[in-house]
Amino acid sequence: MIKFISVFILAFTFSPLWPLGQNPLPGDPFIIVNKKTNEVAYFHEGRVQSVVKAATGKRNDLTPEGLYTITVKVEQPYYRRKNIPGGHPNNPLGTRWIGFDAENTDGRTYGIHGTNNPNSIGKYVSQGCIRLHNDVVERFYDRIPLGTKVLIISTNKSFEQLGKEYGAIYSPKINPLLFEK
């Protein structure tokens, strides 16, 4: 009986449900935007699946840093500032909008979106959003469900370091006591 209780306590201690165990995962998939390199990493199944170039804010303060949640997804988004319908070649939002809740917004102010200006990718040119090539944002759109977490940061750390630090890169822990005979 004592052996059973000891195994139970050890197994529970190393469980993600226990406060002293592994940090809870941010979710899967997970997105990290590094403003310093103007790159976006897509994490899925505990590893980096792709890294792409992006455009971010003209000034460092325009693209807010923090951990956010995807709350809105729109195909052929309407550009309300200049009354440009979705799908129009002059629409700067491109073909997809993936909005997140930065600065207590509803996902309609800040987002990851396409662009009608592919030459802007890799540069600091936006009013705060993260721009991607249309074909890239279309691929992400299909893979990123509502509720996905987005980390925006400016750092010299690699995406692998960030993924480990924020729980997007993980390897399942195996408790050797579970295999004891």
Please provide the DSSP assignment of 7-70 as one string: HHHHHHHTSTTSTTSSPPP--SSEEEEETTTTEEEEEETTEEEEEEE-BEESSTTTS--EEEEE
- What pLDDT does 47 receive? 94
Q: What is the Cα–Cα distance from 113 to 178, expressed in whole angstroms?
A: 46
Structure tokens at 43: 């994490």
Active-site residue list: 113, 129
Confidence of residue 13 (pLDDT cuts 50, 70, 90): very low
pLDDT tens digit sequence for 166-175: 999 976 554 4
The whole-angstrom separation of Cα 57 and Cα 61 is 7
* Sign of the C-alpha dihedral computed for residues 101, 105, 106 and 108 taken in this order: negative
What's the chain's average pLDDT? 86
Q: Which residues is 50 bridged to in the sheet?
A: 42
- In order of start, what are the domains of the chain with their CATH numbers? 55-151 (2.40.440.10)
Q: Note the pTM of the prediction, 2 decimals.
A: 0.81
pLDDT band at 35 (very low <50, low <70, confident <90, very high): very high
Is it the case that residue 3 has pLDDT exceeding 60?
no
